[in-house]
Amino acid sequence: MSLHQIQTGTQVTVRSTGDVGSIKEVYYFPTMYKVEFDNGAVEKFTTHEIEIAGTSLKKPGIIDETTSKKLSSGKSYEVSLLNVKTVVWQEIKGDISDVWKRLISLKDYHLWYPGIQRMLPLNDMGRYVHHYS
């Protein structure tokens, strides 16, 4: 079950205290749950602070793969607390000018570098329209 599929009323257990309650509301970005307890108290918790009935918290596959030290050629990972660095390399056969155009095209950066939502150039211009165009 994915976190976005959790319904209100689902039973949860607080990991630190063992108190049992039910989800009253779900907030996204960051994911927070408003939990109501039997005594009427309402508190907010993150995914890591509660255990949700019917779900299990899993590590991302990238961490499991790194800890097993079985990496295929073309990728490497460095995992530390709150940080994961991924390096991917590939061989491309094609005309150098076409490859270079694709690499420097800001609209295609999400194809070359997964996870990048948008790129903004640094313009050191005095005019507002040049700076933010």
Q: Answer whether residue 29 is part of any domain.
A: yes
5, two tokens: 């599929």
User: Residue 77 is which amino acid?
Assistant: Y
Residue 120 covered by a domain: no
- Position 27 in a domain: yes
Residue 22 has pLDDT above 90, yes or no: yes
Q: Is residue 69 part of a domain?
A: no
Residues 6+ away with beta carbon under 8 Å from 16? 49
> Is 37 a domain residue?
yes
Give the closest residue to 112 by CA, choosing from 83, 78, 89.
Answer: 89
Answer whether residue 24 is part of any domain.
yes
Helix (H, G, I), strand (E, B) or coil at 56: coil
pLDDT above 80 (res 33): yes
The boundaries of the domain holding residue 22 are 3-52
Is residue 83 included in any domain, yes or no?
A: no
Residue 24 sits in a domain whose CATH number is 2.30.30.60
* Residues shown for the chain: 133
Kindly report whether the global pTM for this prediction surpasses the value 0.75.
no
Domain count, the chain: 1
pLDDT digit string, tens, across residues 75-95: 667 777 777 777 766 666 677
